[in-house]
Chains A and B, each alone.
Chain A
């Protein structure tokens, strides 16, 4: 896990253990295919590590799955060094809803916002293919990816992902979701059914949620209930609120002690084998 924080990077010391980088998760398949879930600022640090192996020599291949285009989920792209190295190849999958996904990513790189070269141009840096997807199943190496719409806020089409490896191991990644109707729960349940790990939005505490209903995020209680219903084996609380300090996240985890389910809070630097 390279980034676990919701909305905006929070570098303050009291967030140091769980981390302040916005969402980015590295997934390696049994065949060593590289899948990257979301492109928050955590992507920069993953990039630094990738530069030490085949990506530094321009021989890397990676797939970036973007849940949606809110800044916290794409802001790492301009600072992802492997994209500046020619020979590397990337595919970026996501949806722009009514807009073009590619145009939205390009807007972030517009010269008045961003002085780095537009490396989506085939003549600069890596060969980058931007693929507009919606609800869809497709294969990346030894993995099968299922993308489904989930309910976040009305202004942005948001995807959740299920990833299953042919050699075993499965996870669901649903970083931003709110359940206002049964249909919204059903969308997640399809993605998360029986997975080894469910990485799920826990932006609000159960107490905070009522006052923030309608803002597009789940409570810890929502995450626990959906994990139980989906019979996920392991729940990882994700997308921590910017004001949630390490000690507040510790407290939150303790409150999950008796739920009869393995629960972790996503922590930068954590590694799991499924």
Chain B
């Protein structure tokens, strides 16, 4: 009986996370530059402009996209830091789970804020 050679190349999430970290970074750079341009063009942001921005559905979607990119980016970054510095598995797993739960809660919070802004 011949067995297939065991693949010793790991779980494959390394290259995916590497790529995700860069794609999310580019999304955040674009959103940051866009917001900077809006702010400079209008000479600051007052309440009327702030509300007008969030009344726009496309802007809310862009903000949600930015937020999700940020939270995904933060997940990979924080998990890498826990993996690098925290040796005991139980402690590391606890910190990773806490980080993940907090980030998902932030995503829900952002969705709530954007949803409420769309109801006005």
A, B co-complexed: no
Interface residues of A (CB under 8 A from B): none
